[in-house]
Amino acid sequence: MSYIEIAELIYKRVLDKYGFSSDSSKDLNLLLMELKNMIGKTHFQLKHDFTNIDDLNEQLKLSDGKSVDLILAPNRYQDKEFILWLAVILQNITDHNALNQRDKKIYLPIKSLGKDNGEAILAYLNSEDFNRAEF
């Protein structure tokens, strides 16, 4: 499974089970809980043990100096953009080495395409370069 496939599955499960609220932290905590519930069924490993988004941010700052900036998160009801954003989060909080060693495949990072718009991202995802890559 690719990051995008897992992000899409998590998004759909949370939307179906709980729906989304006006509280982005609460919604992200639900998404992270769903990730932790399903991670054992995949070949992904989490880099950090966390209970919520605040705990994850604290651990990220200590280890990488990074954090999840909720201001940059797209609207949760714009599903394609939100799923892509969530896939990038998943890419940053999972262990890439365990993932690559197990499958022996090349994983491409999501590239910046200049302008931040869904059309450019979808064009990249539909491109021959992306479709030739093994996930």
pLDDT of 49-80, one tens digit each? 778 777 877 877 777 777 676 667 788 888 89
Write down the mean pLDDT value for the chain.
75
**Residue 95 above 70 pLDDT?**
yes
**Distance, CA of 33 to CA of 39 (rounded, Å):** 10
**Residue 99 above 70 pLDDT?**
no
Q: What is the pLDDT of residue 14?
A: 92
Q: Please state the pTM of the whole predicted model.
A: 0.63
Note the pLDDT tens digit of each residue in 100-125. Answer: 444 445 455 555 545 556 777 777 77
Which token pair is 72?
Answer: 């940059």
Least confident segment among 31-35, 90-94, 129-133: 129-133
Q: What is the pLDDT of residue 100?
A: 45
**Residue 25 above 60 pLDDT?**
yes
**Distance, CA of 3 to CA of 94 (rounded, Å):** 10
- Under a CB-based contact definition with an 8 Å cutoff, are residues 66 and 10 in contact? no
**Distance, CA of 72 to CA of 104 (rounded, Å):** 33
